[in-house]
Amino acid sequence: MDTDEAYRCCEKITWSQARNFAYGIRLLPPGKRRALAAVYAFARRIDDIGDGAMPAADKLAALEKARALVPGVTQHAGGPPDGDPVLIALTDVAKRFDVPMTAFGELIDGCVADVRGRRYETFGELLHYCRCVAGSIGRLSLGVFGTDDPGAAAPLADSLGVALQITNILRDIREDYRAGRVYLPAEDLERFGCTLEAGDGLAAGPAARDRLVRLIEFEAGRARDWYATGMALLPMLDRRSAACAGAMAGIYARLLGRIAANPAAVLDGRLSLSPGEKAMVAARSLAGMAYRPRGGSRSGAPAPAGPAPAGPAPAGPAPAGPAAASPLAAAGSSTAAGSAASGPSASAGPSASAGPSASAGPSAAPGAGSPPAAASPPGAAS
């Protein structure tokens, strides 16, 4: 199989499965469009392993097998396996673009955490997961987009990924609960007087439902701040790349706006945008009018260092929201690649060494919630 045919296979996967990201990817010029389709296709393969029907042990083995393929892509050692169009195309991408292919390892770390049923005690722990499953996609995409200042741009791409992933978590709260997955941090559940344990029923009773709705409102406000920080990436990209990033982020930001307007709706079903709405967001992005969520950091600039915006006051003496942020700072699937179709080590959680250091973006310390100044020096990018 030649490279052109391999790219066509990747584009076919992307157009058929990336029901959200495809609207942005189509806005790129041909070379970048093909490259990002190849990145998406491999991310989708990883995500499908994690969300598939295999026994957990088989999933973990398959994920490690996928991890072992990444060095061959970057080192061109012996070329990709014969007949594997995704790896053939991805190997060509590695030659043409400065894509941090090791970020696929982070995505795999997050999928491993999902397979093992990892839960998160603090927002800091959830933040690391979000950076693995979605920030990684942001940084992989940035490698295709290109920028004059990758050190400053990478944390912003990471922040957009975090924003998208929090949106996914809120959108899928009912679906994930039924599958035995709980992503909302235990500390937040406790502060708002909520429980999400198997057999309890999702917000059983009016009082429990009201508490969970208030928690969703709080987390939506947190996501808006991450969008506000991440959207500062767009001026650092060329026009078509900015349109692509703006469309992908804008579709999820618009969905977040719908969740924030009616948070109870996610307890009853899965919210989504119509194809027409997604096309409108993409068209506005191409015209340089990327959709920005209302609320949160309304200026669109990175939020200044300091306390996170207060969330709805939970009942009782519990604190009003997470602790102040650090002054430093991206169909039915839990990961960014899979949710684009609809946010992912053998350790119980993603490896801390996989992504940017804590100084690269918002603090991963417990309670960290609000994105800080993007001018902070970035750490190591994945």
| Segment 189-217, tens digit of pLDDT | 999 999 887 656 676 778 989 999 999 99
The single-letter code of the amino acid at 124 is G
Half-sphere exposure at residue 18, Cβ-oriented, CA atoms within 13 angstroms: 27
Which pLDDT does position 293 carry in this prediction? 65
Report the 10 Å Cβ neighbour count for 29.
11
Rounded distance between C-alpha atoms, residue 191 and residue 288, angstroms: 40
Question: DSSP class of residue 359?
Answer: G
**Confidence class for position 179, pLDDT limits 50, 70, 90:** confident
Side chain identity at 313, as an amino acid letter? A
Q: What is the mean pLDDT of residues 264-286?
A: 92
Tell whether the model's pLDDT for residue 116 goes beyond 80.
yes
In this predicted structure, which of 150-154, 248-252, 289-293, 372-376 has the lowest mean pLDDT?
Answer: 372-376
Alpha-carbon distances, residue 255 vs 34, 164, 258, 259 (angstroms): 27, 10, 5, 6
Reply yes or no on whether the pLDDT at 345 is more than 50: no
Question: What pLDDT digit, counting tens, does each position of 221-262 carry?
Answer: 999 999 999 999 999 999 999 999 999 999 999 999 999 999
Report, as an integer, the average pLDDT of 62-83. Answer: 80
Q: Tell me: pLDDT of 86 over 70.
A: yes
What are the chain's domains? 103-360 (1.10.600.10)
Residue type, 282: A
CA atoms within 13 A on the CB side of 47: 27
Query: What mean pLDDT value characterizes the chain?
Result: 79
The string of pLDDT tens digits covering residues 311-331 is: 333 333 333 333 333 222 233
**Closest by CA position to 230, among listed 299, 302, 179:** 302
| Cα 126 to Cα 373: distance, rounded to the nearest angstrom | 20
